[in-house]
Amino acid sequence: MQSLIACVRRTLRRHDLVPHGARVLVALSGGSDSVALLHLMLELQQEGDLSVVGVAHLNHRLRGVAADEDETFCRAVAASCSLPILVESVDVAAAARDAHRSIEHAARRLRYEFLHRAADALGADRIAVGHTCDDQAETFLMRLLRGAGPIGLAGIHPRVGIVVRPLLNIERQKLREYLMDRAVSFREDASNLDVAIPRNRVRHELLPLLRERFSPAIVQTLRREADLARGDADHFDELVASAQAGVIGETAEGIVLDLRALRALPVAVARRVLRAAMQRAAPDRFVGFDAVEAVFDLTEESCETRQVDGPGQRAERCGETIVLRSRRGRTLSAHEPNTVRFSYLLEVPGEVELPEAACHISAEISECGSAQARLDSGSNQAVVAATSLTAPLTVRSRCQGDAFRPLGLRGRKKLQDFFVDRKVRRAERDLVPLVVDAENRIVWVAGYAVGEEFRVIDPGKPVVILRMTHLGGEW
């Protein structure tokens, strides 16, 4: 049986992760994966493959005393290995609130920003992180359940820039056995047992079920599936790169797409070219499948719609072209005549900017609504039952005939009457965002009320958390 060190070396060579003799910084959380990574890298150093220049640890301040104990442990590990350690502490929860992003998204961004700073400080050529075969399998399943295509199912890449993942072909249990054989200690993160977190539910419930009832080697099987999807995605990237020049142009008006050239492409390539153009129009936004499909519909010759809104942009059909224009917010005067109309697709998770209403609407999914379900539905945030929604969601202004059943009421009410009852000024009613689902049911009158159909009944089931933030601060 191949040793772990041989497996790591094979991964390094196969994916060209670390040039011979390169200077490597090891990301150290204190958990079994990162501690095993450090010791394996030190073994490779002894054999002359590379040089470990130090370790880096980010204290996320999410687990109170336990987070500080993790930091202390990592400092001790670095000292025992005679390695320098760089440590930073950041309030991830506050950063997530400020950026209107999930804690997971904020933590990932802050972690990699810190690791790149640490690499610069220590003169490292590569940053080694401890993602394992189990992480790859979990990621594949989570994205499969969300309906991802080859790009998403490609999962975790072995290398992104100078960040490398030498353990991606090794299962977590093998790493723990490696540490136990050498009497090396590590930290256990109690939050990894919380099945309210989607990844943990996949880890502790779905994967064990698949392993026991369907395939004992399911983790390696899913890892191979991710490898295959990544190969397909890389091939499509090459096709898209060669096709873009004939389709995408840029003028003072915005990103311009030649519809004749776009229609001449295979549908799979055309979708990816369109996504690349939309990503160029809004580089700081996530462009998902639903947003691409909404714009892709404009390419149909029989399409009667002339424009749609996507993440940070508006797509407009102009003859045989589609023009993508960036959309940025503006501050609205209370005295402006409110003749605005708007409609934006809302990904879950995701966020849209509503310049007409000078606010953002965001959505994130949580696997457990027990705590969040108590949030006041009349505030700037609301929690709704994910299983009651029909995707995709849209954020739009009111339309004639809108009606819904406000939370707690027995009967339906016209939105107009609801606004009158709530004393919403006539001049403001066109600016109140409505979150509706694919069946055009009002899920949330932002800032006022949730629809009764979307009430959280079982707090143990997935929920969608909706938030509204004014461009100048929270409403």
- Residue spans in the chain of domains classed CATH 1.20.59.20: 251-326
For the chain, how many residues are written? Answer: 475
- The strand pair at 126-128 and 163-164 is best described as parallel
CATH class for the region spanning 343-470 = alpha beta
Q: What pLDDT sits at residue 234?
A: 86
- Residue spans in the chain of domains classed CATH 3.50.40.10: 343-470
CA distance 374 to 372: 5
Q: What pLDDT sits at residue 365?
A: 85
Alpha-carbon dihedral sign for residues 404, 406, 412, 415 = negative
CA distance 25 to 128: 6
Q: Are 322 and 295 in contact (CB under 8 A)?
A: yes
The architecture in CATH of the region 4-227 reads 3-Layer(aba) Sandwich (3.40)
Q: Are 32 and 176 in contact (CB under 8 A)?
A: yes
Question: Which is nearest to 292 in space by CA: 152, 452, 463?
Answer: 152
Q: What pLDDT sits at residue 236?
A: 85
Non-local CB neighbours of 367 within 8 Å, separated by 6+ positions:
195, 196, 197, 198, 201, 462
What does CATH list as the number for 251-326? 1.20.59.20
Helix 267-281 with 289-296: angle, nearest 10 deg: 110
Q: Are 433 and 446 in contact (CB under 8 A)?
A: yes
Give per-residue pLDDT as tens, 282-291. Answer: 886 667 777 8
Give per-residue pLDDT as tens, 232-254. Answer: 888 888 888 899 989 999 888 89
Within 10 angstroms of residue 203's Cβ, the number of other Cβ atoms is 20
Residue with tokens 């390696």: 220
Question: Which is nearest to 263 in space by CA: 222, 232, 298?
Answer: 298
- Residue spans in the chain of domains classed CATH 3.40.50.620: 4-227
By the 10 Å C-beta count (0-12 exposed, 13-18 middle, 19+ buried), 84 is classed as: middle
The phi, psi pair for 326, rounded to 5°, reads: -65, 145
Estimate to the nearest angstrom the gap between the alpha carbon of 58 and the chain centroid. Answer: 20
Under-50 pLDDT residues of the chain:
1, 329-339, 369-378, 472-475
Cα torsion 392, 395, 398, 403 to 10°: value is 50
Q: Are 8 and 55 in contact (CB under 8 A)?
A: no
Cross-strand pairs, 396: 343, 434
The phi, psi pair for 429, rounded to 5°, reads: -65, -35
By the 10 Å C-beta count (0-12 exposed, 13-18 middle, 19+ buried), 213 is classed as: exposed
